[in-house]
Structure 1
Amino acid sequence: MELNWSSLMFCGVVLFLGYISAQVFNLLVSFNRKCRALRKLPQLPSHWLYGHSREINAESSKSFLNVSMRAMEELDAKVFLIWCGSFPFVQICHPDTFKQANHKVLTKDTSLAGPYRLLREFIGEGLLGSNGKKWERNRKLLTPAFHFHILSEYVSIMNKTVDVLMDKLETAAANGKSVDVFPYICRSALDILVSCSLSYEGNFQDYRKPWQLVDFLFYLSPTGRELKRLCKTSRSFTESIIKTRKEELEKQPSIKEKRCLDFLDMLLTVRDEQGNGLTFGEIHDEVDTFTFAGHDTTACTIDWTMYALGLHREAQELVYQDVCEVLGDETDVKTEHLGKFSYLVQFIKEAMRYYSPVPGFTRRNEHPIEIDGYEIPSGTGINLQPYLIHHNKNVWQEHNEFRPERFDADHRDDNEIYGFLPFSAGSRNCIGQVFAMNEVKITIAKLVYKFEIMKDPDHETDIRPEIVMRPSNGIKLFLKKRQN
């Protein structure tokens, strides 16, 4: 008997379509069950189909933050829900709920719509985007790279780079006009980062060749082709440096004894308990992660701190007096100075609270959890929102006022560690936070020591929350050289 291939093919197609239909049905049932559970959370009135999307302008990244701020204030809740169309997102806006969520073993959101999945194209699976055992192992291996003695070696590099920045700003301000400091600070932060971590003299403040382009603004390109091209450019840049250093260490193992060890040296030589080091791919991912995280976030912190100095002139004078007291006749900020600053540190911390360089980050729970008595089904997008916590009236007194004194040890607000989150908190806090704070202290101290900083009254800027908190229209300041 001859086989009827047409019938067999038809049956196969029917079975396949039936399987797909069953899977889609199960997904819809599961999604509906999740939505029913999440509807119990506090939330603003929303459309059954559009959710809160009509209030969220696709052209304004601040609109989502505005909706979240309004929800936090009107609902007066520690946790609430925002609907982006039919998709629910849990918003954490209080230290108590942040602490609960942080202890529930939430993983970085690498789902199809998750932000970390998009970043992987650019920075791979370094500490910023990895999860589980891989993150635990690599975090442990990388911690010695941020030891006090290692970081102290970078102080002179930071001073040298900031001196170049000050010369650039002095030249730009020579005509008496205001200067958009944002691009200058970004290039300076990038110079410091690659010099300290890779011992690479990029001189990004002087020129930028296409094959050296590592400007992370471009990863937000609207076209995937452009994104891939630019990601390839930046990853090729760091890959070439890693390969060259690896060859140097193999040919001359003693070379690392002749200069200070940098981040890349540590990555290439570190070993775990079993004697295994990091693979080339892991080293590449960590270098790209550190370059991205260390450059963008720190640059935004310095920019907003300078902006705040221009707005609050009386506080700026107190910062200047603090810097003069600590430095005395010195022109460079040395390691021993870093722990002696008082009001300078208060001002920087208040700028980080008020402007929140990292406004929020997303997690996803692998298993059902409970937060504040609400059931959160597995696979839910959970936004941990430092900006909301920093501006929560139930957390910070006079939360909309800029008051550096709140960080004075004798008068600070009674907040636990989870109330102030510029570097996150808990086990997944920022591994490079001391490096970043050293850079910010040195940069702001030297700039205030040399310049009086004034906001340009004719230029308006606003926060633009993305992965980091960018200024919407640059930051224009008048810089008047002091007569020290």
Structure 2
Amino acid sequence: MSTTSSSKRPIPVHPGLPLVGNTLEYLRDPLAFMRRLLRTYGHERMVRIAIGGRKTTLMLKPEEAKQVIQENNRNYGRGKSFAILREFLGNGLLTSEGDFWRRQRRLAQPAFHRQKLAILADIMIEEALAWSNRLSQLDQAKPVNMSAAAVDVTLRIVTRTLFGSHLGSELDNLSHALAHLNHVANNAVINPIRFPKWVPTPDNRAFTRAMAKVDDLIYGIIRLRRQTGESRDDLLDMLLRATDEETGESMSDNQLRDEMVTLFTAGHETTATSMAWTLHLLVQHPDVMGRAKEEIKSVLGHREFPSATDLRAMPYISQIINESLRLYPPAWVMSRLSLGPDRFDDHEIEANSGVLISPYVLHHDPENWPDPEQFDPERFNPATTSERHPYSFLPFGGGPRLCIGNQFALLEMHAMLIVLLHRFTLVQVPNLRITTQPLITLRPKNAIRIYLQKDN
């Protein structure tokens, strides 16, 4: 921890209303609220706020974020908001903590090594091609709901890469059930009043039904795979065969279920949202789209579709994706709870204190990102990225808890974007206003619609 100063000053407190604190200001527009805090308290590097009856400290600068999630990470557990996610994700990598989390991470990590991802990349390309074929059958005179279209293809990709098949009608049951669970979790984020699960509210009843569907399907797949012993190049197979190097133990059915649900949820909804934002930015910047299409053509030549190697050979496509993740990070805020006190120069965090780190705030700080609202993929030109603090860009978190599926998600987005731009020119729908909806993930409030013109 940082101890460069022996003096200590109180952390500034943002004024709020009696009883509710800053809750109303936050609920009205969380992103605008946090940008105001950055402008007002950025020189102090952190600020205390009160939301939903809980006092918490928002870290405003990369160095403080690094101390929390990397340098002194063992002093910080998951914040109370993770209890909402734990209700349906279980004790998977996203929500678990301590020694249990470290063991699970060791078990799961080999499934995401580069060689394993190269196998899964072929599936991503196949599904992206089938997706573009479906899109090509649509009426070009009508705009396409790309928010829904992105969910469709990521759902198919994550199903095949996780379970090795499309699952047929079971896929619809699983996706609808998980959509219910997401809906309930997002309602819990918005609504400070929460009833215990045994109270038969509409949300609680929907939650119970959805959980039963998810568990029946996932446990059924796990049992069948154990019984048959069938070997497949999918993530379930890799996790079933994983053993802890220290203990020789493998994952139980409960642990497999929690990891499958976590990966399924993160692998399609989050990636689909990020893809939709990327397309929204491209239609507003046809010069960037034109340069991307040129890069794709120069790499692919006369080939109709990319190979897994091609996905990593287009630096400008990577710059576009990174800039989209900067402007609209899916995990826009992360909560932690201090287990003991911690010192940040002349400020001190007490034990059992709430801490917030917002990638959205870090990504919109003009100190690291001049003109931060502007879409400019050149920010991620390799010649300039070394000039910024590494923790000024956290689309997948950082430190030991860096998202295990970050390279999976990036490959998925590369495959979708390359295939789409190789076949279509994207055209903006006039007067379409898209606003943000910061729930568990940073979503567009209304559907992103785009005209797709087939290239000759």
Is the pair's TM-score, using the shorter chain for normalization, greater than 0.5? yes
| Matches of 2:265 and 2:20, distance apart in 1 | 34
Within a 5 Å distance, the mapping from 1:46-125 to structure 2 comes to 46-57=16-27, 63-77=29-43, 78-84=45-51, 86-102=53-69, 103-104=71-72, 105-109=74-78, 114-125=80-91
What is the Cα deviation at residue 39 of structure 1? 10
Within a 5 Å distance, the mapping from 1:451-462 to structure 2 comes to 451-462=424-435
2:221 paired residue number: 241
Seen in structure 2, the aligned counterparts of structure 1 residues 211 and 133 have a Cα distance that, compared at 3 Å, is closer
User: What secondary structure, in the 3-state scheme, does the structure 2 residue paired with 1:411 have?
Assistant: helix
| Matches of 1:212 and 1:342, distance apart in 2 | 33
The yes-or-no answer on 1:213 pairing with 2:176 is: yes
The yes-or-no answer on 1:42 pairing with 2:12 is: yes
Within a 5 Å distance, the mapping from 1:103-252 to structure 2 comes to 103-104=71-72, 105-109=74-78, 114-172=80-138, 174-202=139-167, 209-210=172-173, 213-216=176-179, 218-221=181-184, 222=187, 223-249=203-229
Within a 5 Å distance, the mapping from 1:81-480 to structure 2 comes to 81-84=48-51, 86-102=53-69, 103-104=71-72, 105-109=74-78, 114-172=80-138, 174-202=139-167, 209-210=172-173, 213-216=176-179, 218-221=181-184, 222=187, 223-249=203-229, 255-256=230-231, 259=232, 261-272=233-244, 273-412=246-385, 414-480=387-453
| Matches of 2:312 and 2:182, distance apart in 1 | 36
User: What secondary structure, in the 3-state scheme, does the structure 2 residue paired with 1:330 have?
Assistant: coil
What is the Cα deviation at residue 317 of structure 1? 0.3
On the 8 A contact 2:140/2:453 being kept in 1, the answer is: no
Seen in structure 2, the aligned counterparts of structure 1 residues 215 and 481 have a Cα distance that, compared at 3 Å, is farther
> Post-superposition, which runs of at least 4 consecutive aligned residues in structure 1 deviate over 4 A?
none
On the 8 A contact 2:42/2:60 being kept in 1, the answer is: no
2:193 paired residue number: none
| Matches of 2:137 and 2:158, distance apart in 1 | 24
| Matches of 1:203 and 1:459, distance apart in 2 | 35
On the 8 A contact 1:213/1:233 being kept in 2, the answer is: no
On the 8 A contact 2:335/2:354 being kept in 1, the answer is: yes
Tell which deviates more after alignment, 452-461 or 405-414.
405-414
Seen in structure 2, the aligned counterparts of structure 1 residues 186 and 50 have a Cα distance that, compared at 3 Å, is same
Tell which deviates more after alignment, 186-195 or 230-239.
230-239
Gaps of 5+ in 2: 1-7, 188-202
Seen in structure 2, the aligned counterparts of structure 1 residues 175 and 449 have a Cα distance that, compared at 3 Å, is closer
Normalised TM-score (structure 1): 0.84
Could you list the per-position Cα deviations for residues 257-285 of structure 1 after superposition, in whole angstroms to 9, with x for gaps in the alignment?
xx5x2211122111122221111111111
2:197 paired residue number: none
Seen in structure 2, the aligned counterparts of structure 1 residues 444 and 276 have a Cα distance that, compared at 3 Å, is same
Seen in structure 2, the aligned counterparts of structure 1 residues 413 and 308 have a Cα distance that, compared at 3 Å, is farther
Identity %: 28
Could you list the per-position Cα deviations for residues 113-132 of structure 1 after superposition, in whole angstroms to 9, with x for gaps in the alignment?
x2211112211101000000
User: What secondary structure, in the 3-state scheme, does the structure 1 residue paired with 2:296 have?
Assistant: helix
Letter in 1 for 2:58: Q
What is the Cα deviation at residue 151 of structure 1? 0.9
Could you say what the CA RMSD is over the residues aligned between the two structures, in angstroms?
2.1
On the 8 A contact 1:122/1:235 being kept in 2, the answer is: no
Could you list the per-position Cα deviations for residues 97-122 of structure 1 after superposition, in whole angstroms to 9, with x for gaps in the alignment?
10111122244436xxx221111221
Could you list the per-position Cα deviations for residues 345-393 of structure 1 after superposition, in whole angstroms to 9, with x for gaps in the alignment?
1111101101112111111111122234322122222111000000011
What is the Cα deviation at residue 87 of structure 1? 2.2
Q: How many residues align?
A: 428
Flag the structure with larger Rg: 1
Could you list the per-position Cα deviations for residues 157-191 of structure 1 after superposition, in whole angstroms to 9, with x for gaps in the alignment?
1112112221332333x151211111111121111
User: What secondary structure, in the 3-state scheme, does the structure 2 residue paired with 1:56 have?
Assistant: helix
